Amino acid sequence: MVNSFGSSKTIRLPVLQEIEEEEKEEHTALGGSPPKLENLRLRDTDISSTGLAAFLSFCGSTLNTLDVSFTRVKHLDVIGQYCNTPLKKLNISKLELAPFELYKLVQRFHDKGIKLKKLIAGGSLLITTSATNSDLIKVSD
């Protein structure tokens, strides 16, 4: 990420597995459940599919909106795995995805009976296994 002064700034997230375990222990000790997060915006961060899985395993069942645009997320099935309520909005713009990733996500939601109200995928690249220039497909709004 580049700020207005031209220097770059990298945001590093803490080790999610440790935070997840500490938070779960704290909530369990208090007799409660994990917080009910409704909107998660990870746009333009350095998060990967593994990091996203850690977040969603903790709070994915209560989300209404999820923005993972401009991230390193490459596997969308993790969203379908942990999101158990209808998402009002999912933004996956500018992700580099294998062509079957979007299909797997839609299929997982269909199998769970979950409706996705709005999907934003502008500028995402669907990359085949032999990624040559002719194999890149741009998905636009």
Read off the pLDDT of each residue in 4-14 and give the average, rounded to a whole number. 49
Q: Residue 32's pLDDT is what?
A: 60
The 3-state secondary structure of 38-95, one letter per residue = CEEECCCCCCEHHHHHHHHHHHHHHCCEEECCCCECCCCHHHHHHCCCCCCEEECCCC
Q: Residue 138's pLDDT is what?
A: 47
Is pLDDT at 135 greater than 60 in this prediction? Answer: no
pTM for the whole structure: 0.66
Reported as a pLDDT band with limits 50, 70 and 90, residue 115 is confident
Please compute Rg for the chain using Cα positions.
16
Read off the pLDDT of each residue in 24-43 and give the average, rounded to a whole number. 70
Pick from 1-10, 82-91, 122-131 the range whose average pLDDT is largest: 82-91
Reported as a pLDDT band with limits 50, 70 and 90, residue 69 is very high
pLDDT: which is higher, 116 or 130? 116
Q: Residue 119's pLDDT is what?
A: 87
